[in-house]
Amino acid sequence: MTNISTTDHTDLQPAPWLALFGEGAMSRRLFRSPTFAVGFSIVALLVLAATIGVWFSPYQPNSMDLTARLAAPGPQHWFGTDNFGRDIFTRVAVGSQMSLLVGLLVVVITGIGGALLGALAGYVRALDNIIMRVMDAFMAFPAMLLAIAITAALGPSLMNVVVALAVSYIPRTARIVRGTALVVREQQYVEAALVAGAHTRRVLLVHVLPNCLGSLIVQLTFVFAYAVLAEATLSYLGVGLPPPAPTWGNGIASGREYIVEAWWMSLFPGLAITFAVLGFNLLGDGLRDVLDPHLRAET
């Protein structure tokens, strides 16, 4: 009985994932937006570079060749070599793996954490005040500075960087989900589901989360962009992934000292960061126009 009535009410609301990935008009509408199309192409290219780009290079990212130190870009080394004679093209390609990995992990953790906290705060009145006040305190610190402080406290490592970035973006994500949850809670079909005996957990999963999915996807796309940028910044400041790791930020940091002799050391990793961040920002803008027209560009 309970089941029947809740399914009945579920039918009344849109299921964004079906609209997005089904054969419906959503994907066509998305690709009609030039912003989305360009962003999507850049991100696809990036994934391609991370997966098969390395095959095009005969070099290992960490193999040093002291005879070919600081070699300028040319047929041997497309992007030149660094102060240890390491091939920069290879390091930039491997760096894209690192950036995408960090971005992906941050997005997954931020998404789960933000959705859970936001839904709880928006749906369970007793928890709202406590959760949101703690979130406010977190948001009083600039996101990247909080991330710097957390990695400084925990020590530099891949997992710590991911945790630090996720912690700094969860409050912002939770706030968006909470907003939707507050609206959904008042809807008739949610009341009907509760009257029919549905559990809070079920209401959260079946009603609240699908409704915030649009804004959540948009927010997480931007979080991906921030994460790539922040990871590079942490590496540059020396609190990210420790040096032998071929991250883009590390590449620029070591290039800083050789700026006069070897501009290519810092140029190419920087272009890669710009390219990646631009791609995710465009993707986010395009998604927002289609999925969530009310959301504005916010930090």
Partner 1 sequence: MIGYIMRRLAAAVPVLLMVSLLAFLLMQIVPGDPAYAMAGSDASVTEIEAIRHDLGLDRAWYLRLADWYLALLRGDLGHSYTLRADVADLIIERIPVTLSIALYSLLIAIPCSIAMGIVAARFRGKLIDLGIMTTALLGVSLPNFWIGIMGILFFSVHLGWLPSGGYVPMGEDIGGWIRSMTLPALVLGTMQIGLLTRITRSEMLDIMHKDYVRTARAKGGSELRVLVRHALRNALVPIVTVIGLLFGMIVTGAVVVEQVFSIPGVGRLIVQAILTRDYPLIQGTLLFVAGAFVLINLLVDISYAYLDPRIRQA
Q: Are 35 and 282 in contact (CB under 8 A)?
A: yes
SS3 136: helix
Would you say 210 or 240 has its CB closer to partner 1? 240
Site for partner 1 contains 274 (CB under 8 A):
yes
Contact range with partner 1 by CB under 8 A, out of 59-67, 74-82, 94-102, 228-236 = 228-236
Q: Which of 282, 252, 275, 273 is nearest to 45 (CA)?
A: 275
Site for partner 1 contains 130 (CB under 8 A):
no
**Cα–Cα distance, 195 to 207 (Å, whole number):** 14
Where on the phi/psi map is residue 216: left (φ > 0), alpha (ψ -120 to 50), or beta?
alpha
Site for partner 1 contains 285 (CB under 8 A):
yes
Would you say 49 or 167 has its CB closer to partner 1? 167
Contact range with partner 1 by CB under 8 A, out of 53-61, 74-82, 87-95, 250-258 = 250-258
Q: Least distance from C-beta 165 to partner 1, angstroms?
A: 13
**Cα–Cα distance, 79 to 74 (Å, whole number):** 7
Please report the sign of the dihedral spanned by the C-alpha atoms of residue 113, residue 115, residue 121, residue 127: negative
Site for partner 1 contains 113 (CB under 8 A):
no
Q: Least distance from C-beta 251 to partner 1, angstroms?
A: 10
**Cα–Cα distance, 172 to 219 (Å, whole number):** 9
In the complex, which residues of this chain contact partner 1 (CB under 8 A)?
133-134, 136-138, 140-145, 148-150, 152-155, 225, 229, 232-233, 236-239, 249, 252, 255-256, 259-260, 263, 266-267, 269-270, 273-274, 277-278, 281-282, 285, 296-299
